[in-house]
């Protein structure tokens, strides 16, 4: 597609439920990134994919968080047993390949606003 | 480890006045530095980047930033603010060892007064 697409744009869930957030990167972008933006804070790195492997998932806050990617396409971020502190905007970005982000910049999606009640 | 600090969470300027957003970085290796803008309910858009070429970097929408190694700074400026500049601005850093990972500042919200 023309840009990075994320769905849903908004999600309200009850504490303890599982949620899945979806990211469609730009076609041909092999690198994909997930970030979390809490209210009033900067973005926190969660995980990086090169193709369908995740060389760095050091930013995932707990084992309730997991992510996968199908080939060089769609990625899904799953949060199990959601807690109120998981409320945030989850942003996905993609770039042509690792290392090109600093050359060309990363293309970010509009994010999924997750609210846990 | 690399990090950035943005001074001032909110900046208010009059239309036509200078916009100055401050960013200081910490890095043990030559950094790559970025400024992103985020409009309400939108993703982040790259304004400009420094990747060890010219120290004065020009970006989109009339913004520019100067890399000053001696001051470990990468402040963002625009000579004349426009109403459309109202947004949140983020400074970010990465480096050659982890060029895929951006470390962001907390952001500065800019409001423009008519």
Q: What is the DSSP string of A46-89?
A: EEEEETTEEEE-TT--STTEEEEE-TTS-EEEEE-S--GGG-EE
> What's the confidence (pLDDT) of residue A40?
79
Sign of CA dihedral A6, A7, A9, A14: negative
| Tens-digit pLDDT profile for residues A6-58 | 999 999 999 999 999 999 999 989 899 999 999 878 899 999 999 999 989 99
Count Cβ–Cβ pairs < 8 Å, chain A vs chain B: 69
Q: Evaluate if residue A103 carries a pLDDT over 90.
A: no
Report the chain A residue with the minimal C-alpha distance to residue B10: A40
| Ordered strands of the A65-69 beta sheet | A5-7, A19-24, A75-79, A65-69
> What's the confidence (pLDDT) of residue A1?
55
Q: Region A61-81: what's the mean pLDDT?
A: 95
Category of B82 on φ-ψ map: left (φ > 0), alpha (ψ -120 to 50) or beta: beta
Q: Which residues in chain B touch residue A33, judged by CB atoms under 8 angstroms apart? A: 100-101
| Tens-digit pLDDT profile for residues B47-94 | 999 987 789 999 999 999 999 999 999 999 999 999 999 999 999 998
> What's the confidence (pLDDT) of residue B31?
86
List residues in chain A touching B: CB distance below 8 A.
Answer: 4, 31, 33, 35, 40-45, 48, 50, 56, 91, 93, 95, 98-99, 101-103, 105-111
**B36 or B41, higher pLDDT:** B36
Nearest chain A Cα distance for residue B79, angstroms: 24
> What's the confidence (pLDDT) of residue A98?
72
Indicate yes or no: CB of A101 within 8 angstroms of CB of B46: no
Q: What is the mean pLDDT of chain A?
A: 91
């Amino acid at each position: 597609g023309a840009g990075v697409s994320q769905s849903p744009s908004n999600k309200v869930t009850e504490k303890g439920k599982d949620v899945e957030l979806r990211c469609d990167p730009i076609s041909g972008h092999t690198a994909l990134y997930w970030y979390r933006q809490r209210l009033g804070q900067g973005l926190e790195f969660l995980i990086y994919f090169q193709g369908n492997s995740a060389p760095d998932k050091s930013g995932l806050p707990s084992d309730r968080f997991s992510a996968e990617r199908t080939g060089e396409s769609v990625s899904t971020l799953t949060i199990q047993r959601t807690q109120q502190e998981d409320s945030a905007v989850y942003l996905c970005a993609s770039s042509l390949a690792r290392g090109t982000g600093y050359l060309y910049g990363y293309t970010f999606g509009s994010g999924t606003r997750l609210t846990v009640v | 480890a690399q990090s950035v600090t943005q001074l001032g969470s909110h900046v208010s300027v009059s239309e036509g006045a200078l916009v100055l957003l401050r960013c200081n970085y910490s890095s043990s290796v030559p950094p790559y530095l970025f400024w992103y803008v985020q409009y309400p309910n939108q993703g982040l858009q790259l304004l400009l980047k420094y990747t060890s070429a010219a120290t004065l970097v020009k970006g989109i929408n009339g913004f520019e930033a100067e890399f000053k190694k001696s001051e470990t700074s990468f402040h963002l400026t625009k000579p004349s603010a426009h109403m459309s500049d109202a947004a949140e601005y983020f400074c970010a850093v990465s480096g050659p060892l982890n060029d895929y990972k951006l470390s962001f500042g907390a952001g500065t919200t800019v409001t423009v007064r008519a």
